[in-house]
Structure 1
Amino acid sequence: MEELRFYNTFTRRKEPFKPIIADEVRMYTCGPTVHDFAHLGNYRAYIFEDILRRTLKFFGYSVIQVMNLTDVDDKTIRKSRERGVTLQEYTREYTESFFEDLDALRIERAEFYPEATKHIPEMVELIEKLIANGHTYETDGSIYFRISSFPAYGRLANVKLDDLRSGVRVDSDEYEKEDVRDFALWKSWTPDDGDVFWDTSIGKGRPGWHIECSAMSTKYLGEHFDIHSGGVDNIFPHHENEIAQSLCGYGGDFVNVWMHNAHLMVNSEKMSKSLNNFFKLKEVTSTGISPRAVRYFLLSAHYRQPLNLVYDPDNNITDSFDAASGALDRIDEFRTKLAELQKQGEDSGEAGDDILDIIDKARSSFKGALGNDLDISGALGALFGMIKDVNRLLDEAQVTAVDAVALDDLLMDWDRVLGVIRPEERGEIDVERIEALIEERKQARQAKDFARSDEIRDLLASEGIIIQDTPGGVRWRKK
């Protein structure tokens, strides 16, 4: 099997990847807290993890992936009570929306999506181990992990215990602690929690956030597995705390490779709800941008490099996705040429030497780039370099139907990783009706009836038609 190399956050270097079990990869990816709709910054992480999963399969590995769903925490409890519904009713809406978005973005489903509320016994069992091993203390019914009991704490994030000063915010737990560095394993029930609690051997309450991932990853993947991934903001304290819990509770090894993606930025600031500069997927696609274009945009930069979304509030957000849409247009136009060639001649036999040389070179470059820590720029460079080389031969009428079949097969093989080459399925388009609506919109704009102009634009967008106003006139295309 060809070599893969990944950057390991724990060792801070790029390393050859060797799974614990030959030909099988077990990976845990931090999923959403379902207290609200996920935004594009969240989906950058999930698309990175999707590319990772697809690449592992592309290189011949079978993959067992677990992504948690955090459906109980301070926010979910508070918001469900404000709305006057049960915790389960509150989180169901956001969980269902999350899976709809995954499908729209062509993110492959993980093998397991464990919900925290359905794994309380596993968490209690781990906490009992930590108690027995002397790593905890109790305050007012809540149980905390004593960080000073684990001298290796901080290796993942490259921080020292002494550097964690009193008063520094290292955890969001809103309870009394001996030391600001410590974190909650179990939170005792308070009246603010309402009916959200579990009566257990360690008391009446609910789990802390960090214990969920340690317990659920172990249940589905074992105490020692291959890859754990998430966003860079998970490194500290969440993943650092997972390491402490798992090593102190289970002993032995925990995770071989830690992988983290950089932030999605908006005008060079991190996309986040606290800054109110976030976009939900459905908000973006309602403007006529396809989920396929969103996926392309989110995967277009190396996962360890920040990706910047340039956004001018005075303009439609579609401008930010022009490059992604343009790249997809080039792919679609190329595949259309290949399809036309296949209709024109015999498509059986061997491709020509020139085409085979282009395919071999491109295939090697594409796979080599992916194997080098998911170098997506190199992979996309192989794709568009191949298109450029073949277009030159197409211009000279040197590509046959057999060549076209071989080239399209290559594209479909690559799409097992990229997930952007196949266009969305659409029904038949009524071109005459669309152009009539565009003409009506033009007249409305000339009459300064912008409400009607926007209404027509939104109608066409809902049907998957994107309108672009250019100096040469109005252009339109399918998403």
Structure 2
Amino acid sequence: MTLRMYDTATRSVRDFVPKEAGKVGIYLCGLTVQSAPHIGHLRGGVNYDVLRRWLTRSGFQVTFIRNVTDVDDKILMKSIDQQRAFWSIAYANEVILGAAYRSLNVLPPTYEPRATGHIPDMHELIKKLIADGHAYQADDGSGDVYFDVRSYPEYGALSGQRPDATQTQIADEVLERGKRDPHDFALWKGAKPEEPADATWPSPWGPGRPGWHIECSAMCWRYLGAEFDIHGGGLDLTFPHHENELAQSRAAGLPFARYWVHNGLLNLGEAKMSKSLGNVVDLDHVASIGVRPVELRYYLVASHYRSRIDYSDESLRESAVAYRRIEGFVRRAGERVGAGTIGEIPTTFAEALDDDLNTSAATAVLHETVREGQVGLAGGDDEVTRATLAQARAMLDVLGVDPLDVAWAGCGQDDDLRAVVDSLVALALEQRAQARGRKDWAAADSVRDQLKHAGVVVEDTPHGPRWTIGEQD
């Protein structure tokens, strides 16, 4: 395996060489749980899940960390507005997030730390930065501690946004809070009377709470050590979050991440999906248009992870139809030759994923294999059917969308509704069978056409009629 990854830090595709042979450490910036997730949030989780699966399939032992930011400005604002404990809001949304990841077959992380559980680690980093001259406590009595951006000459290396090249308007309130330079960012925020009292922790600089950026640096350090392999996140995190993480970690003497990997955004209209903009699509909406979680995952992985996805209901439905063709082959082939075992990965599929995790090219290989299998299935060639089924399932397993995976049992459909549909279709097929028995071919064809118009495709097999929902042209 020679995996090549686009590294944001060098702006180039580099051969991936892990820090330690046979082991890979990955840190994915998780979500700030001030609200329930939308599918734009979930894209990153799915993309990095494919990376993790591919590395594991390639023989690496992967330690995968995905954090939860459970205290920050947005959560505290919600706490004040709703007159509700900040931790109650954070935990409720964390539960929803976990359920959303599970519904999309995202593997659980090795560890999923919460920011509030690592305050002492943050204190240690901040004390080191102050001792080394890279941070200072505000002299206005606020209790704030800031990172001194000018003390770190490499600041801007990740995002390209150098302090001297950016214009920042200094607001009066910034100066009042004791910040020496508008580019400096908070490591520790002193307690404010208007904020919830329970969102405060003691510190060497007085009661307060951590800044956003120091949280991730501390958790990376705690779970992956001073240096680790891959730091991932959405493209929108490159600046300022990841730039600040990199600066404070390196200034504290930590080599930190060796590769920076950023996934593209999912747009709705001309802008990225954002709760603050009010342009979001959540899992409830996806279900309301008849798309299952497995089909949403396929939609999210079928594009290259660095590409922008311009969402529309129509494009999601088209992707779902494409997946149903794959699913239909897997199920029909399984009925014919047995589900068997997951086979070997085709060389072309492996080459696609080794080329900067190119899932777009990889899914093209998958479709070609399925087409070959469909020809074998139609021609009664069990050997071809069995071989292509094993290969298809191997590729689908890496992408996390194998329809025979127990994770997709039920595929998120309502069992009662499915039972009703089963009964109605069975009744229609019985009427069709009676028409065929009396050689009333027009009536039999009429039943089949009506089912097709309703989205139910009937296929006659040696074992009797088989029906599926929208899987064939």
With structure 1 as the length reference, what TM-score do the two structures score? 0.82
Distance 1:296 1:343, change over 3 A: closer
Alignment partner for residue 407 of structure 1, among 383, 388, 395? 388
Amino acid in the other structure paired with 1:365:
T
Distance 1:142 1:343, change over 3 A: closer
Distance in 1 (CA, whole Å) between partners of 2:338 and 2:212 is 57
Distance in 1 (CA, whole Å) between partners of 2:324 and 2:211 is 47
Q: Could you tell me which residue of structure 2 aligns to residue 351 of structure 1?
A: none
Distance in 2 (CA, whole Å) between partners of 1:199 and 1:341 is 66
Deviation at 1:429?
Answer: 3.7
Q: Could you tell me which residue of structure 1 aligns to residue 227 of structure 2?
A: 224
Distance in 2 (CA, whole Å) between partners of 1:135 and 1:44 is 35
Residues 287-346 of structure 1: CA deviation (Å, up to 9, x unaligned): 432111111111111111101112xxxxxx4x34222211121112211331232269xx
Distance in 1 (CA, whole Å) between partners of 2:277 and 2:427 is 38
Query: 1:422-437, aligned counterparts within 5 Å?
Result: 422=403, 424-426=408-410, 429-431=419-421, 433-434=423-424
Amino acid in the other structure paired with 1:159:
Q
Residues 30-64 of structure 1: CA deviation (Å, up to 9, x unaligned): 00001101111111111111111111112111100
Alignment partner for residue 336 of structure 1, among 331, 337, 356? 331
Distance in 2 (CA, whole Å) between partners of 1:415 and 1:181 is 46
Does 2:274 match 1:272? yes
Distance 1:373 1:105, change over 3 A: same
Distance in 2 (CA, whole Å) between partners of 1:470 and 1:56 is 47
Q: Could you tell me which residue of structure 1 aligns to residue 187 of structure 2?
A: 185
Does 2:317 match 1:325? no
Runs of 4+ more than 6 Å apart: 469-472
Q: Could you tell me which residue of structure 2 aligns to residue 61 of structure 1?
A: 60
Distance in 1 (CA, whole Å) between partners of 2:186 and 2:247 is 13
| Alignment gaps of 5+ in structure 1 | 311-316, 349-358, 439-468
Distance in 1 (CA, whole Å) between partners of 2:452 and 2:121 is 64
Q: Could you tell me which residue of structure 1 aligns to residue 346 of structure 2?
A: 363
Q: Could you tell me which residue of structure 2 aligns to residue 420 of structure 1?
A: 401
Distance 1:121 1:59, change over 3 A: same
Secondary structure of 2:157's partner? coil
Deviation at 1:395?
Answer: 3.4
Distance in 1 (CA, whole Å) between partners of 2:59 and 2:18 is 12
Aligned length: 423
CA contact (8 A) 1:6 1:373 kept: yes
Amino acid in the other structure paired with 2:409:
E
Deviation at 1:168?
Answer: 8.4
Secondary structure of 1:203's partner? coil
Secondary structure of 1:228's partner? strand
Q: Could you tell me which residue of structure 1 aligns to residue 116 of structure 2?
A: 117
Distance in 2 (CA, whole Å) between partners of 1:135 and 1:55 is 39
Distance in 2 (CA, whole Å) between partners of 1:325 and 1:291 is 10
Q: Could you tell me which residue of structure 2 aligns to residue 307 of structure 1?
A: 309
Distance 1:121 1:432, change over 3 A: closer
Distance in 2 (CA, whole Å) between partners of 1:470 and 1:232 is 47
Distance in 1 (CA, whole Å) between partners of 2:263 and 2:29 is 12
| Alignment gaps of 5+ in structure 2 | 429-448, 457-467
Deviation at 1:235?
Answer: 0.6
Deviation at 1:221?
Answer: 0.2
CA contact (8 A) 2:137 2:205 kept: no
Query: 1:69-468, aligned counterparts within 5 Å?
Result: 69-139=68-138, 140-167=142-169, 175-195=177-197, 196-249=199-252, 251-310=253-312, 317=313, 319-342=314-337, 363-397=346-380, 399-400=381-382, 402-422=383-403, 424-426=408-410, 429-431=419-421, 433-434=423-424
Name whichever of 384-393 and 224-233 sits farther off.
384-393
Q: Could you tell me which residue of structure 1 aligns to residue 20 of structure 2?
A: 21
CA contact (8 A) 1:173 1:183 kept: no
Distance 1:472 1:283, change over 3 A: closer
CA contact (8 A) 1:331 1:421 kept: no
Deviation at 1:173?
Answer: 12
Secondary structure of 2:291's partner? coil
Deviation at 1:28?
Answer: 0.4
Secondary structure of 1:119's partner? helix
Secondary structure of 1:226's partner? strand
Distance in 2 (CA, whole Å) between partners of 1:178 and 1:279 is 41
RMSD: 2.8
With structure 2 as the length reference, what TM-score do the two structures score? 0.83
Distance 1:138 1:279, change over 3 A: same
Distance in 2 (CA, whole Å) between partners of 1:168 and 1:414 is 53
Distance in 1 (CA, whole Å) between partners of 2:29 and 2:84 is 26
CA contact (8 A) 2:369 2:392 kept: no
CA contact (8 A) 2:44 2:234 kept: yes
Name whichever of 149-158 and 288-297 sits farther off.
288-297
Distance in 2 (CA, whole Å) between partners of 1:94 and 1:396 is 51
Deviation at 1:403?
Answer: 4.2
Distance in 1 (CA, whole Å) between partners of 2:33 and 2:334 is 43
Distance 1:371 1:173, change over 3 A: farther
Does 2:32 match 1:30? no
Residues 338-382 of structure 1: CA deviation (Å, up to 9, x unaligned): 1232269xx99xxxxxxxxxx98x700111100110111111011
CA contact (8 A) 1:135 1:149 kept: yes
Amino acid in the other structure paired with 1:77:
L
Name whichever of 144-153 and 251-260 sits farther off.
251-260
Secondary structure of 2:369's partner? helix
Sequence identity percentage = 36
CA contact (8 A) 1:166 1:179 kept: no
Deviation at 1:431?
Answer: 4.1
